[in-house]
Chain A
């Protein structure tokens, strides 16, 4: 807890130099109030993501069936379940990364604030700009500097920003990395440690101010300290961005999420959602015995 407080204080001061009189405000709101304008970027604020009867195929193999799930705006939703139950596939359905795999198909609807992201005429690039993604393995662009990495989203989506310095600083602040890299923004992103690389990837995703952030086991390749930093970051993003996180770590799901969905797949059967709801309820008094077994670590 003291660490968290320290982090907030430390993140306050560098911004004070830029924002001046706003330095007395809490870190989260400072970051928001001084947000530089991104021309052509996503609309401001978080958005609700909703899956309706979502199904996914790889070729002829149905891997996910009939998922109905609401991921409310500004909340953290955790997707839990054993390996191979379709969590990651579901996550990749949510920002149209699924379609990059040859032979991929889907049924059902994915609604972003009520609009189907797979509607005819909606381009995948637009969807992905609004729904960012952080991957299991940290994947910064190694040839680019830290600064260029943060700004890569702008470059790739051809967005314009008049105050890139502030954007870089804010994105790194929000990802909890600013303090460690503020003096070496021009050194290559690949030279950072694994935990720092992952936070750089989070900063990179946050730099376009997405409405939703998807995280596919973001901490599974990280040490406990880095994991805690990432979890703190997720906690600070609450309210600003809708977060959907896939995790194998029950404690993590318990710690960071507001809502939880438990996926399961029987042998050679498509995955489905066994149970979903409030995280605390799911962990304390699950309705389904399979959920109880899983969250108590009896299988999976």
Chain B
């Protein structure tokens, strides 16, 4: 039985061993050669492999090219201003000699708009995702997913125009109410006679609508992966549907909600057209407190869009600001994907 299963070389050796000693012994040490049995790809496979790998690598190459371009183009402005000064200065004045430019004022606006946007979009997205995954029949689910995807297909320029021409006026009463009731919070304070249109708050609302679809789709995907056994367990214990959602779906989807929010944040940070239209693009000044409800504010991308095509030095400075934005959004997205993939719910979700 043993002999019949072994190959030629071992056969002889094992045979002797068995004859000499019928009690089982550890097999004698034999010099073995390893036969590599990897599949040899066909020509078609090899070519297709090259094609797909090429496409994959080109994406990475593109990223490096963009990063490299920004780095080289911005080196003029950065070396003249100094990296640290550029990062910490809030002013942006090219009318004086030497020009005083810095990105901090723009970054403050960018982050504020993004935070307002994500703060509004996340609760809305989570509710929307719950409506789709937990409270809809199959037919309505399909319909709702279609509508949310449609929202993603609206060009951001249209969102910006709509926000500028239509929504802005409608938000003013809300801004007024907020400033009257929550004015004691420094962020919500407004000065006498300050205009309430063209504020960071309004820009944030418009950007919220733009990032809503992406957050909704990540959160929806994660919610739909909730183990059915746990959901049934919660219902079988006498839980209501809401109780089941609170105790099973939301804890399970936590990682997805965080990751989706950060992904949305990444998008919101880079949003351009809407904020270029909505905000006056005046960088936040140092020492001045930030008022998100009144007219004012600038974001990196909006500012770049407004000032593009200026003299060489300004362009270099704008690209340096772009580089900072590039690094920040890249980092945000990477953190988002790590958070999602590390969470229990996100193991099977790609973002």
Q: Which residues of A are in contact with B by a Cβ distance under 8 Å?
A: 95, 97, 100, 102, 125-126, 128-129, 132-133, 135, 137, 139-143, 152-153, 155-158, 201, 204-205, 208
B237 & A205 in contact (Cβ 8 Å cutoff): yes
Minimum CB–CB distance for A206 against chain B, Å:
11
Give the complex CA separation of A141 and B247 in angstroms: 9
Of B108-116, B162-170, B224-232, B258-266, which binds chain A?
B224-232
A208 & B238 in contact (Cβ 8 Å cutoff): yes
Give the complex CA separation of A125 and B239 in angstroms: 6
B208 contacts the other chain (CB 8 A): no
B237 & A97 in contact (Cβ 8 Å cutoff): no
B138 contacts the other chain (CB 8 A): yes
B251 contacts the other chain (CB 8 A): yes
Give every chain A residue within 8 A of B247 (Cβ-Cβ). 141, 152, 155-156
Give every chain B residue within 8 A of A142 (Cβ-Cβ). 230, 344
A139 & B230 in contact (Cβ 8 Å cutoff): yes
Q: Which residues of B, 201-247, contact A by the 8 Å Cβ criterion?
A: 227, 229-230, 232-240, 243-244, 247
5 extra interface residue pairs, beta carbon distance < 8 Å, beyond A100-B235, A139-B232, A157-B243: A125-B238, A141-B230, A141-B248, A143-B252, A156-B240
A139 & B237 in contact (Cβ 8 Å cutoff): no
Give every chain A residue within 8 A of B244 (Cβ-Cβ). 156
Minimum CB–CB distance for B240 against chain A, Å:
6
A139 & B238 in contact (Cβ 8 Å cutoff): no
Q: How many A-B residue pairs have CB under 8 A?
A: 70
A133 & B236 in contact (Cβ 8 Å cutoff): yes
8 A-B contact pairs sorted by A residue (CB < 8 Å): A97-B236, A125-B238, A139-B227, A143-B252, A156-B239, A156-B247, A201-B233, A204-B237
Minimum CB–CB distance for B332 against chain A, Å:
26
B137 contacts the other chain (CB 8 A): yes
A100 & B237 in contact (Cβ 8 Å cutoff): no
Q: Which 7 pairs from chain A and chain B are nearest by CB?
A: A156-B239, A129-B238, A157-B238, A139-B229, A133-B236, A153-B237, A139-B233
Give every chain A residue within 8 A of B252 (Cβ-Cβ). 143
* CB-CB under 8 A for A157 and B237, given A141-B247, A141-B248, A143-B251: yes
A95 & B236 in contact (Cβ 8 Å cutoff): yes
A102 & B137 in contact (Cβ 8 Å cutoff): yes
Give the complex CA separation of A125 and B240 in angstroms: 6
Bitwise, B273-296 to A at CB < 8 A (1) or not (0) is 000000000000000000000000
Give every chain A residue within 8 A of B238 (Cβ-Cβ). 125-126, 128-129, 153, 156-157, 208
Partner of B229, one of A126, A137, A152: A137
Give every chain A residue within 8 A of B239 (Cβ-Cβ). 125, 156-157
Give the complex CA separation of A172 and B237 in angstroms: 16
Give every chain B residue within 8 A of A133 (Cβ-Cβ). 236
Give every chain B residue within 8 A of A158 (Cβ-Cβ). 243
The residue in chain A whose Cβ has the minimal distance to the Cβ of B230 is A139
B235 & A97 in contact (Cβ 8 Å cutoff): yes
Minimum CB–CB distance for B291 against chain A, Å:
41
Minimum CB–CB distance for A268 against chain B, Å:
25
